């Protein structure tokens, strides 16, 4: 029997891909991100850039650490992303005058102006007819419950 053939061991049922909680979440996330791509291409944004702008449109300026905490991203991932956004003229980064260790991110006029165009993105995504509004709301609540439950220290 080759390594790729099933051993039919009942104990191995827990190792089946279709039994994993993580896999459908991972696959759905990838598919959703790809579905956003054409909408965000119209704005000249990647999905991670869109997420950063969503955070900043809620309240800006913000420290890099705050943005990372809200997006569940570490500074090693966020810093290069913010550098690219700064080069594109969407954000400004500057050291905090009170604490040189902190970097503060603010919107540029160009980054702020994208907010108007971006308002149509959530609505256009919701029109995908795979879930009812109630199902989408329930899924949203359940995934946030999972996220909160998996956070260290909870």
Q: Kindly give the confidence (pLDDT) of every residue in the chain, 154 residues in length, as a single tens digit, with 9 standing for 90 and above.
A: 445 555 678 889 999 999 999 999 999 999 999 999 999 999 999 999 999 999 999 999 999 999 999 999 999 999 999 999 999 999 999 999 999 899 999 999 999 999 999 999 988 887 666 888 888 889 999 999 999 999 887 5
pLDDT of residue 153: 74
Q: What pLDDT does 8 receive?
A: 74
CB atoms within 10 A of CB 44: 12
**Beta strand extents in the chain (DSSP E only):** 62-63, 91-95, 103-107
pLDDT of residue 136: 84
Query: What is the C-alpha separation between 1 and 4, in angstroms, rounded?
Result: 8
Distance separating the N- and C-terminal Cα atoms of the chain: 45
The class of domain 48-122 in CATH terms is mainly alpha
- Look at residue 123 in the predicted model and tell me its pLDDT: 83
What confidence score (pLDDT) does residue 34 get?
Answer: 93
pLDDT of residue 50: 98
Residue 1: predicted pLDDT: 47
Instruction: Please choose, from the candidates 24, 86, 76, the residue with its C-alpha nearest in 3D space to the C-alpha of residue 53.
Output: 86
Checking phi first, is residue 89 left (phi over 0); if not, alpha (psi -120 to 50) or beta?
left
């Amino acid at each position: 029997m080759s390594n790729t053939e099933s051993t039919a061991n009942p104990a191995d049922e827990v190792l089946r891909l279709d039994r994993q909680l993580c896999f459908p979440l991972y696959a759905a996330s990838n598919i959703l991100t790809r579905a956003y791509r054409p909408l965000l291409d119209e704005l000249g944004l990647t999905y991670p850039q869109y997420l950063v702008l969503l955070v900043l449109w809620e309240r800006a300026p913000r420290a890099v650490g705050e943005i990372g905490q809200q997006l569940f991203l570490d500074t090693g991932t966020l810093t290069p992303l913010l550098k690219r956004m700064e080069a594109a003229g969407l954000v400004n980064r500057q050291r905090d005058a009170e604490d040189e260790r902190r970097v503060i991110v603010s919107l540029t006029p160009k980054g702020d102006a994208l907010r108007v165009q971006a308002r149509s993105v959530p609505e256009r995504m919701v029109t995908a007819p795979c879930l009812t509004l109630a199902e989408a709301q329930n899924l949203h609540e359940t995934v946030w419950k999972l996220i909160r439950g998996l956070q260290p220290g909870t």
